């Protein structure tokens, strides 16, 4: 019985020992954090009373330039990232999504036009396919080429896009064969069926009641048609669009660090100017005041970054609409009735919304400023360090060795 009782108590003893060890570690960690906070506070704003002038200036000579480097470095990294993301979305990702949507819709319109023209038999053989068919095929080819040059795709996606371009060439070849046998219903339908299968995995012929039949995209190993591959490229690009539109953990951390460092730097500069006015009778240190003026740019940079982030988030649903809501029927209606007003689901309308949103989501007078944020921080740190070093050296020269302030 005693042995069984000790076995039951042993786990409880181990739990108590583990709890005590955890408590000791927590206390040690709290003590380390408190000491670190005390040291940071001492360097950020030490009391100006009861301190030697020499020691106070030495602390300021270390703390303020270091805070300037941390603040401007973190701000420059986060701000440059926000600006780069906006530029990528505006100049690369959004145009590529527009071109992919336009290529997909143009090919489906061209297929409908080809089937309607070839249904006329000999008339199609003599006069050829309609102008809309030729225009849409050329437009799809041009859009795919523009996606290749956009720089928004990865190397693997560029290879897939080249495959799509080659399939488009083969697709037009089969449409040409069907046109060559326009008077033979069997050969004509065979050519159209092959072209249709190259365009859509689940094929269905167009009709007068439904000139633009649904062409749902397949995924996985069965995604072999042109629309399947274009839809896959759109999905990958939309994922990167959403990722770039949201700030990651690194950007958030840099923003928090920059905000804390700027608060400490501003308070440190103010207290240093007050110290110099009381102890050294320097009413205003021009170099330190000039260094403080650089802080006036921080609110503008922060506002610009917040505008960019808001604009990026607002354009994510619009980018999704390019792949999910556009259709050949909408594009044909917009082409046939240009003065009927913009259709909210038309590619041109969605493109304008993205362009306007990303263009308005920034302060234009700050264009090109991002690369200079870190150099401005280096210059500020150097100015502060040089000024405080000069004050300290002058003080050591005019005082007796070992004298107190």
Residue-wise DSSP of 52-91: -HHHHHHHHHHHHHHHHHHHHHHHHHHHHHHHHHHHHIII
- Looking at the whole model, is its pTM more than 0.75? yes
How large is the angle between the packed helices 94-118 and 226-245, nearest 10 degrees?
160
How many whole angstroms separate alpha carbon 321 and alpha carbon 219?
19
Q: How far is CA 332 from the centre of its chain?
A: 33
Check residue 188 and give its pLDDT: 85
Domain ranges of the chain: 53-396
Whether the Cβ atoms of residue 210 and residue 329 lie closer than 8 Å to each other:
no
Q: pLDDT by residue for the chain (405 residues), tens digit each?
A: 445 544 444 555 666 767 777 777 778 777 777 766 666 666 555 555 555 677 777 888 888 999 999 999 999 999 999 999 999 999 999 999 999 999 999 999 999 888 888 877 665 565 678 889 999 999 999 999 999 999 999 999 999 999 999 999 999 999 989 888 878 888 888 988 899 999 998 876 666 666 776 788 888 777 889 999 999 999 999 999 999 998 888 899 999 999 999 999 999 899 888 888 887 778 888 999 999 999 999 999 999 999 999 999 999 999 999 999 888 888 888 887 766 667 888 999 999 999 999 998 889 999 999 999 999 999 999 999 999 888 877 665 545 454 444
Q: Which residues contact 364 (CB under 8 A, 6 or more apart)?
A: none
* Own/partner pairs, 335-343, CB within 8 angstroms, 24+ separation: none
Check residue 5 and give its pLDDT: 46
Check residue 45 and give its pLDDT: 55
Q: φ, ψ for residue 19 (rounded to 5)?
A: -65, -40
Check residue 398 and give its pLDDT: 47
How many whole angstroms separate alpha carbon 239 and alpha carbon 13?
52
Residue 103 CB neighbour total at 10 angstroms: 28
Produce one character per residue of 322-340: b if its CB has 16 or more CB atoms within 10 Å, e if not.
bbeebbbbbbbebeeeeee
Check residue 123 and give its pLDDT: 56
């Amino acid at each position: 019985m005693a042995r069984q009782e000790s076995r039951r108590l042993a786990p409880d003893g181990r739990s108590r020992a583990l709890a005590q060890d955890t408590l000791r570690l927590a206390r040690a960690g709290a003590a380390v954090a408190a000491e670190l906070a005390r040291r940071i506070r001492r360097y950020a704003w030490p009391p100006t009373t009861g301190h030697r002038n020499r020691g106070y200036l030495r602390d300021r000579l270390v703390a303020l330039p270091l805070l300037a480097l941390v603040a401007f470095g973190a701000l420059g990294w986060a701000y440059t990232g926000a600006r780069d993301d906006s530029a990528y979305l505006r100049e690369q990702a959004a145009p590529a999504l527009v071109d992919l949507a336009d290529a997909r819709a143009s090919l489906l319109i061209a297929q409908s036009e080809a089937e309607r023209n070839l249904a006329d038999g000999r008339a199609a053989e003599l006069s050829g396919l309609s102008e809309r068919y030729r225009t849409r095929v050329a437009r799809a080819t041009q859009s795919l080429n523009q996606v290749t040059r956009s720089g928004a795709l990865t190397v693997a996606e560029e290879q897939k896009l080249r495959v799509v371009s080659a399939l488009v060439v083969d697709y037009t070849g089969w449409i040409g064969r069907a046109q060559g046998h326009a008077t033979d219903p069997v050969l004509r339908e065979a050519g159209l069926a092959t072209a249709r299968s190259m365009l859509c995995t689940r094929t269905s012929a167009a009709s007068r009641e439904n000139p633009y039949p649904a062409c749902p995209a397949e995924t996985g190993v069965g995604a072999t048609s042109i629309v399947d591959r274009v839809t896959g490229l759109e999905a990958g690009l939309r994922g990167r669009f959403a990722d770039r539109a949201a700030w990651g953990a690194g950007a958030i951390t840099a923003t928090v660090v920059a905000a804390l460092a700027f608060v400490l730097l501003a308070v440190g500069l103010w207290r240093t100017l007050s110290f110099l006015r009381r102890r050294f009778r320097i009413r205003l240190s021009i170099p330190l005041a000039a260094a403080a003026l650089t802080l006036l740019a921080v609110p503008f940079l922060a506002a610009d970054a917040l505008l960019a982030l808001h604009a990026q988030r607002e354009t994510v649903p619009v980018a999704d609409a390019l792949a999910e809501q556009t259709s050949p029927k909408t594009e044909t209606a917009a082409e046939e009735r240009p003065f009927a007003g913009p259709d909210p689901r038309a590619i041109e309308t969605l493109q304008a919304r993205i362009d306007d949103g990303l263009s308005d989501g920034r302060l234009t007078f700050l264009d090109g400023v991002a690369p200079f944020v870190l150099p401005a921080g280096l210059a500020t740190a150097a100015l502060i360090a040089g000024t405080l070093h000069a004050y300290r050296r002058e003080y050591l020269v005019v005082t007796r060795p070992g004298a107190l302030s």
